[in-house]
Structure 1
């Protein structure tokens, strides 16, 4: 018998949650031990800026982006299949949510590929795409969950997802505003002055949003247990 988290395609969000959490925590631990960041609430990107943790951060975040996109695709197909049985949602709403989520994953790939101190402008654009599109994705998915109730979801999961979404939406505004007040300063590996209150407030909000994503995908596991995903291959006659 399979472990509960490995039933059907439930393994996918489970691996995403474990891997992404490990990526954030491992990079933070390495950066603190190497003395590259202050232990109290650095930016997530700050923990993956310097060698050797930059390599670990880049690799693990890149894999997280791929796992995130795959999980979103499965969720998109689930909603599509449910909507065929009992129509409750416009097709384009589901597609738009999926595409926004994928753009967020692309932004995460940009963050992983362009370190904060190498190509700062590109890194910042990637970070904004990740967080803005990520928050938009989970908010849209929360609305979809409400629309799917009671046929395909229950009130409990509706309120849990919406609560996570609202907290993430609220946190993203001070994250961006405080970062702009701080001047979007480039992080330096050398020891220097302590981060400003704006910097730490923005970083705290960033961690809240990041683990908001992790918690949101956690709610997918039970739903994915009821799904089987098949890949079919057809060879055309003119091959």
Structure 2
């Protein structure tokens, strides 16, 4: 079965991120900067810093498009009387775009301030950490709402929610590791343990976001773009699917 509707967009986002991160890791390891780098370590030295900027700048545009499509999908699946749900979706939509804008700004500033090796990583990790965590919260909220509105199976809805919860838990581990470093709560072996836990948590959290994005495939297949004189709109591909709920 081929890719239908707008399902190509999340697939492109996933392929772009995986390919980009693999290139960054390969360059970081080959250059000898670090043997076991985390994502934050791949953006400090040149040329990795430039590649990092391009990858996450394009990622922010992909993400903004995906969040707008998901917002429109939720609105299409709602009734005019569900005012509270519509308000929540607008809030989540704004939060999602804040993540995308923050990612783009972070990527651009990374290019211009890459020579501040000693000071910039702190600002980067705080900004990127907040963006990742806000994105995880966004995914969690949408996972709950999609139980009743998704065209995916109930099993896929369970998987989507589990991916969001696991991602948040892993990012909390990363935040704990960062706090031990900033506030110098431990040193020596203790710090090594927290650093390794944070690195593993960051990588697993990243793949958690990737897996969550993959679950949008089914819903995006049911959507298509329609062009009118007034502009472009997003609608369901098959009207009979509108009343179809996951089993």
TM-score bracket relative to the smaller structure: 0.7 to 0.9
The aligned counterpart of 2:230 is: 234
Q: Select the structure that is richer in strand.
A: 2
Task: Give the conservation status (yes or no) of the 8 Å contact 1:69–1:101.
Answer: yes
Aligned partners of 1:199 and 1:233: how far apart in 2?
A: 55
When the two chains are superposed, the root-mean-square deviation of aligned CA atoms in Å is 2.5
Aligned partners of 1:75 and 1:214: how far apart in 2?
A: 16
Q: CA deviation at 1:101?
A: 1.6
Q: CA deviation at 1:57?
A: 1.1
Aligned partners of 2:174 and 2:109: how far apart in 1?
A: 20
Task: Give the conservation status (yes or no) of the 8 Å contact 1:61–1:112.
Answer: yes
SS at match of 2:225: coil
The aligned counterpart of 1:168 is: 167
Q: CA deviation at 1:221?
A: 1.3
The aligned counterpart of 2:147 is: 146
Give structure 1 regions of 4+ aligned residues with deviation exceeding 4 angstroms. 85-89
If the length of structure 1 is used for normalisation, what is the TM-score? 0.82
> Number of paired residues?
219
Q: CA deviation at 1:72?
A: 0.9
Task: Give the conservation status (yes or no) of the 8 Å contact 1:174–1:202.
Answer: yes
Aligned partners of 2:105 and 2:126: how far apart in 1?
A: 8
SS at match of 1:4: coil
Q: CA deviation at 1:108?
A: 1.8
The aligned counterpart of 2:5 is: 8
Gaps of 5+ in 2: 185-190, 232-247
Task: Give the conservation status (yes or no) of the 8 Å contact 1:107–1:125.
Answer: no
Gaps of 5+ in 1: 186-194
The aligned counterpart of 2:109 is: 114
The aligned counterpart of 1:192 is: none
CA separation of 1:221 and 1:175: change in aligned 2, threshold 3 A: same
Task: Give the conservation status (yes or no) of the 8 Å contact 2:75–2:86.
Answer: yes
| Superposed counterparts of 1:74-85, under 5 Å | 74-84=69-79
The aligned counterpart of 1:210 is: 206
CA separation of 1:48 and 1:12: change in aligned 2, threshold 3 A: same
Task: Give the conservation status (yes or no) of the 8 Å contact 1:104–1:132.
Answer: no
Task: Give the conservation status (yes or no) of the 8 Å contact 1:43–1:206.
Answer: yes
If the length of structure 2 is used for normalisation, what is the TM-score? 0.80
Q: CA deviation at 1:232?
A: 3.8
